[in-house]
Amino acid sequence: MHNATPIISGSILLRVLAIGASTFYLVSAGAIVVADDGALEGRRHRIVVSSDIGGTDPDDVQSMVHLLIYADSLDIEGLVSSPYGQGRKEHIMQVIDAYGHDLPNLKTYSDKYPTPDALRALCKQGAIDTPGDSGVGESTEGSDWIIQCAKREDSRPLNVLVWGGIDDLAQALRDAPEILPKLRVYFIGGPNKKWSVDAYNYIEQNHPYLWIIEANATYRGWFVGGNQKGEWNNKEFVAKHIAEHGALGDFFVNAKDDIKMGDTPSVARLLHGTPEDPSQPGWGGKYVPIWDGRKTIFDRLTTEADTAEVFGVTEFALPKPDDFSAQNTASMIFDGGVPASKGVIEGDVLRFRFSPRDAKVWSYVIKSDFAGLDGKSGKFEAVSPPITRTGRRSTVHPNWWIDDPDPAVAEGVHPGAKSVNRWREDFLRDFAGRMDRCQSARSGDVAARRSRPMRWGSDYLKRSPDWYKSAEAQAIAENVLLYQSTEGAWPKNVDMNSPATPEVLAQVVADGKANTIDNDGTTVPMRFLALMADATNQEKYKKSFVRGLDYLFAAQYDNGGWPQFFPLRPRGYYSHITYNDDAMMSVMFLLREVAAGQAPYTFVDEGRRDKAAEAVRRGIDCILKTQIKQDGKLTVWCAQHDEVTLAPAWARNYEPPTLSGSESVGIVRFLMDIEDPTPDEVAAIEGAVAWFEAVAIHGLRYQHIRTAEGLPDGVVVVDPSAGPLWARFYEIGSNRPVFTGRDRVIHYSLDEIERERRGGYAFYGNWAASLLAKDYPRWQAKHKTSTSP
């Protein structure tokens, strides 16, 4: 339902050059492209929501309804109640109760919707009372939960969406400052900031490197401006698309019968846009780097001639009267509203802190039991900052983002709001489609499409044991049997759900897809048939598997390697020893399991199990002989090696003879699984790990995007918080990342090759991240090896 039109922005692309183990960044003005890395494009984002639902504003109820109908597309890890007034986590659970009523319908659209009990388990109580003038105090169930989520072993950042006060986040950062690099915070500031100005001040002063979007007014674009005609009008939309749409629809309308949903842009930016880059446009708005000088301190009572920045922090550091003590109280009341700013003694100063939410003249009066202060009053004007200030990025808060002050994107007095409401029809249309799910179950031809078998692939190896006894499984297995060639192998890139008619089989051969271990071409069908044999004990599945096993034995070179295709082709790179796309390693893993006689391969005879063990031994010998040395040190492998000389070799024009940052990971994992490794095998592992550590690229994020014309592309951008990356290809001898297009010319910068290859191939990845962080330490502990050199 959503509009996947490419998003356009004026951001700058980064050109990356790598020399040796060092990476340098050159900024070049150029193409204007933006990725859509949102959840609606399949990227799952981790989120914790901190909400004042049940407290000061019904919009949190509406935003919670919106969040839950997108719960199948997001990984919700926490729902924290951070109230003002009477709001508690029970108010979140009331929305979950409504969700539970609609879940049977929702499940017909997606099986990824969480259960109500799973969501209830994520509900935590946050700060009920303000922590005091320091901004932090005692830990809460909510702040502890934020810490726990942030410390989970997950390479993805944790998005903390703050819909109310920011107290629980401040407390979490105070209690566990080490979680800061993992966090991506979206704070609905503006009116919420006045309730937790001390916590905000604490974060700003003590955690300047926090990655945070401070949306003081941009969020208003969700309900202010944009197309308000007909069904897109705030009230008309609710009447047509929300009311009488399940229990969630009723809950939404009971809170407010028109659109408010002021917190929803925090979720919307994760649905459609580029969440890691706030400068890019998307449903949640577009933001700019924050500037310095947003805090104003007055040492006296002010007049209307005095100014402070709107949405900033305004402090009154008044001289403390001599007789004023800690037993006295004083509060500054702004425009007769709440909350009052409590006076705090700081040495010889009595300090009051406030955040003005509107650009206007503010009046205040001091209420105190100290006669010399009671009734004192003043005024000041909250103003927008001058362009001379907003045009200079903060030197203190490098990862802090805020509303765009450009008048062109303001909606009336609300800066940045047009960067949200420009998408109004798109996000409301998608929202309406989601609310339709609550109203009725999926039916008709849509449900029929849903019931069709999933596309052939390794997912068929992950079904429940009983499924392999089903008629559906046996129908697919019949196709798999028919796709097996006379040589005993299977083709690649073929949907084996489709009937293997003579015409289809002839086309497989004509297209050059037959008899290969590439892209799981033979190993996945073999594993599938083994599962079928184990479940049904049918001989035809066993015989087919054994024929495949004999094919793998025949295809192995005397030196232990495997070609991509067998029988061998007369020309091309297909005869090379092929580690590319884990082709050879998929064979090695399978044969090792067969040799061990473990389920589901118990039907394989002893003679073939012995042959499998010997094939694995020869394969390991090939691995050790093809490992590349630099300056006498073992490193990693090329994606393919010459079958005679064992030297690194070319494959396709854009796959040069290099050190592989991708395929080498699978090889190392295989070696780590050896129960009793030899000294040579240990050395191979240690050498590869040391190389991976040495060439890891930090501070970069790699993403596939769409250009303004809607064409796929790939870019790298600077992101100090990004996890380590590895290039697909490293130059042998220098360890410089290299990039090659279809012209076979080596380049040292990704943007120097053609867009088609940049957008159609994975030139960077986090391939070795878990190998270094998890697998290698476990292997070291098991074998009590020394650390890598």
CB atoms closer than 10 angstroms to residue 714: 22
As a dihedral over the C-alpha atoms of residue 628, residue 630, residue 633, residue 639, rounded to 10 degrees, the angle is -20
Please tell me the predicted confidence (pLDDT) of residue 555: 98
As a dihedral over the C-alpha atoms of residue 684, residue 687, residue 691, residue 692, rounded to 10 degrees, the angle is 60
Annotate 514-574 with three-state secondary structure. Answer: CCECHHHCCHHHHHHHHHHHHHHCCHHHHHHHHHHHHHHHHHCCCCCCCECECCCCCCCHH
Q: Is the peptide bond before 319 cis (omega within 30 degrees of 0)?
A: no
The arithmetic mean of pLDDT across residues 368-390, rounded, is 94
Please spell the DSSP secondary structure of 324-388, one letter per residue.
--TT--EEEEETT-SSPEEPEEETTEEEEEE---SSSEEEEEEEESSTTTTT-EEEEEEEPPPHH
- Domain boundaries, given as residue ranges, for the chain: 34-285+397-439, 295-384, 456-626, 645-789
- Kindly state the DSSP code that residue 771 receives in the 8-state scheme: I
CA–CA distance, 479 with 627 (Å, rounded to integer): 39
Decide if pLDDT at 7 tops 60.
no
How would residue 56 be classed by pLDDT, with cut points 50, 70 and 90?
A: low
Please tell me the predicted confidence (pLDDT) of residue 27: 28
| From the candidate CATH numbers 1.50.10.20, 3.40.50.720, 3.60.20.10, 3.40.1380.20, the one assigned to the domain spanning 645-789 | 1.50.10.20
The arithmetic mean of pLDDT across residues 84-105, rounded, is 87
- Kindly state the DSSP code that residue 238 receives in the 8-state scheme: I
User: Among residues of the chain, what percentage have pLDDT more than 70?
Assistant: 92
Structural contact between residues 288 and 405, judged by C-beta atoms closer than 8 angstroms: yes
The arithmetic mean of pLDDT across residues 632-656, rounded, is 97
Could you tell me the pTM of the whole model?
0.58
CA–CA distance, 444 with 429 (Å, rounded to integer): 22
The arithmetic mean of pLDDT across residues 15-26, rounded, is 32
Decide if pLDDT at 725 tops 60.
yes
CA–CA distance, 608 with 113 (Å, rounded to integer): 46
How would residue 84 be classed by pLDDT, with cut points 50, 70 and 90?
A: low
Please tell me the predicted confidence (pLDDT) of residue 690: 98
| CA-derived radius of gyration, the chain | 31
Q: Which distant-in-sequence residues (6+ apart) come within 8 Å of 720 by Cβ?
A: 398, 399, 699
How would residue 723 be classed by pLDDT, with cut points 50, 70 and 90?
A: confident
User: Closest by alpha carbon to 751, among 17, 35, 33, 37?
Assistant: 17
Tokens in use for 22?
Answer: 């060092």
Structural contact between residues 333 and 354, judged by C-beta atoms closer than 8 angstroms: no
Strand partners, 296: 314
N- to C-terminal Cα distance for the chain? 53
**Third-level CATH fold of 34-285+397-439:** Inosine-uridine Nucleoside N-ribohydrolase; Chain A (3.90.245)
Question: Residue 536 burial (CB < 10 Å; 0-12/13-18/19+)?
Answer: middle
As a dihedral over the C-alpha atoms of residue 264, residue 267, residue 268, residue 270, rounded to 10 degrees, the angle is 170
Task: Name the catalytic one among 547, 569, 652, 755.
Answer: 652
The yes-or-no answer on residue 652 being catalytic is yes
Structural contact between residues 612 and 619, judged by C-beta atoms closer than 8 angstroms: no
Average pLDDT, the chain: 89
**The one-letter amino acid at 551:** Y
Tens digits of per-residue pLDDT, 288-315?
Answer: 999 999 999 999 999 999 999 999 999 9
Around 678, how many Cα atoms within 13 Å sit in the side-chain half-sphere? 6
- Kindly state the DSSP code that residue 405 receives in the 8-state scheme: -
Helix axes 167-175, 141-150, angle to 10 degrees: 60
Task: Name the catalytic one among 216, 479, 515, 519.
Answer: 519
The arithmetic mean of pLDDT across residues 735-756, rounded, is 95
The yes-or-no answer on residue 519 being catalytic is yes
Please tell me the predicted confidence (pLDDT) of residue 85: 63
Name the residue with tokens 């096993």: 549
Structural contact between residues 315 and 296, judged by C-beta atoms closer than 8 angstroms: yes
**Which is higher by pLDDT, 5 or 189?**
189
What is the Cα 129 distance to its own chain's centre? 33
Ramachandran angles phi, psi of 286, nearest 5°: -125, 140
Please tell me the predicted confidence (pLDDT) of residue 97: 93
Helix axes 424-439, 89-107, angle to 10 degrees: 80
Strand-pair category, 46-51 with 158-162 = parallel
User: Among residues of the chain, what percentage have pLDDT more than 90?
Assistant: 76
Length of the chain: 789
Strand partners, 227: none
Strand-pair category, 330-334 with 659-660 = unpaired
Q: Is the peptide bond before 385 cis (omega within 30 degrees of 0)?
A: no
Decide if pLDDT at 530 tops 90.
yes
CA–CA distance, 679 with 494 (Å, rounded to integer): 42
CB atoms closer than 10 angstroms to residue 552: 24
Tokens in use for 741?
Answer: 């297009």
Name the residue with tokens 């790990």: 689
Q: What are the distances in angstroms from CA 204 to CA 188, 342, 400, 505? A: 15, 20, 9, 65
| From the candidate CATH numbers 3.20.190.10, 2.60.40.10, 3.30.365.10, 3.20.20.70, the one assigned to the domain spanning 295-384 | 2.60.40.10
Task: Write 567-570 long-range contacts (CB < 8 A, 24+).
Answer: 567/487, 567/515
CA–CA distance, 58 with 456 (Å, rounded to integer): 47
**The one-letter amino acid at 361:** V
How would residue 25 be classed by pLDDT, with cut points 50, 70 and 90?
A: very low
Q: Which distant-in-sequence residues (6+ apart) come within 8 Å of 300 by Cβ?
A: 318
* Same topology between domain 34-285+397-439 and domain 295-384: no
CATH no. for 456-626: 1.50.10.20
Tokens in use for 69?
Answer: 């109908």
Q: Is the four-CA dihedral 629, 633, 637, 643 of positive or negative sign? A: positive
The arithmetic mean of pLDDT across residues 318-331, rounded, is 95
Helix axes 471-483, 523-536, angle to 10 degrees: 140
CA–CA distance, 41 with 34 (Å, rounded to integer): 14
CA–CA distance, 401 with 201 (Å, rounded to integer): 16
Please tell me the predicted confidence (pLDDT) of residue 44: 92
- Alpha helix (H) ranges present in 556-698? 583-596, 606-626, 663-672, 679-695
CA–CA distance, 142 with 568 (Å, rounded to integer): 62
Task: Write 757-760 long-range contacts (CB < 8 A, 24+).
Answer: 757/654, 758/713, 758/714, 758/715, 759/704, 759/705, 759/711, 759/712, 759/713, 759/714, 760/712
CB atoms closer than 10 angstroms to residue 27: 10
Decide if pLDDT at 435 tops 90.
yes
Decide if pLDDT at 117 tops 70.
yes
Tens digits of per-residue pLDDT, 544-557?
Answer: 999 999 999 999 99
Decide if pLDDT at 23 tops 60.
no
Decide if pLDDT at 29 tops 50.
no
Please tell me the predicted confidence (pLDDT) of residue 454: 65
Around 126, how many Cα atoms within 13 Å sit in the side-chain half-sphere? 39
- For residue 319, give the H/E element and its range: strand 313-319
Strand partners, 342: 331
The arithmetic mean of pLDDT across residues 395-406, rounded, is 95
CA–CA distance, 324 with 382 (Å, rounded to integer): 29
